[in-house]
């Protein structure tokens, strides 16, 4: 997918990453500040090792992923193996966005980000709904 409907060029990785960072910065307190402690990676597709571990054959089926130990499961005895990371996969998100055709791209990026943050923070559906009006 090099362009979107109407021959509009698809946002490149840098533009997509800017959308993701803007979505994270727009989170209301206290979520926004806490979300800054999670690394954010934007790639076109999930790496092969992730797809293999998750037994996903089509990389377009994975829009985002939280990689780390959820705060609700962390212990002071845990040895960190790397930063908690949220991955957003540009091509899969663009595919979903064009298939849906009913939400702005920035809204979908924010929705995927919030969903992955929910895994990190152990948020309930009510917590998610408080900051992501997607469910209404």
For position 129, which CATH number holds?
3.30.2010.20
User: Cα(first)–Cα(last) distance of the chain, in Å?
Assistant: 30
Kindly state whether residue 125 falls inside one of the protein's structural domains.
yes
Q: Minimal CA–CA distance to 1: which of 71, 74, 105?
A: 105
124 lies in some domain: yes
Give domain status of residue 38, yes or no: yes
Q: Whole-structure pTM over 0.95, yes or no?
A: no
Q: pLDDT tens, 25-83?
A: 998 888 888 889 899 999 999 999 999 999 999 999 999 999 987 777 777 776 667 78
> What integer pLDDT is reported at residue 80 of this predicted model?
66
Residue 88 lies in a domain: yes
- pLDDT at position 119, please? 86
Asked if the structure places residue 2 within a domain, the reply is: no
Does residue 3 sit within a domain?
Answer: no
Domain that holds residue 126: 8-72+81-135
Total domains in the fold of the chain: 1
């Amino acid at each position: 997918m090099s362009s979107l409907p109407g021959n509009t060029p698809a946002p490149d990785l840098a533009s997509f990453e800017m959308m993701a960072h803007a979505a994270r910065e727009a989170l209301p307190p206290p979520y926004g500040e806490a979300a800054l402690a999670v690394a954010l990676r934007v790639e076109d597709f999930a790496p092969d090792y992730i797809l293999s571990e998750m037994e996903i054959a089509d990389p377009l089926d994975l829009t985002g992923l939280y990689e780390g130990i959820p705060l609700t499961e962390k212990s002071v005895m845990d040895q960190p193996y790397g930063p908690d990371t949220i991955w957003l996969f540009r091509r899969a998100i663009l595919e979903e966005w064009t298939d849906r055709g009913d939400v702005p791209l920035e809204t979908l990026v924010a929705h995927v980000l919030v969903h992955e943050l929910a895994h990190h923070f152990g948020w309930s559906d009510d917590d998610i709904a408080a900051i992501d009006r997607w469910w209404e």
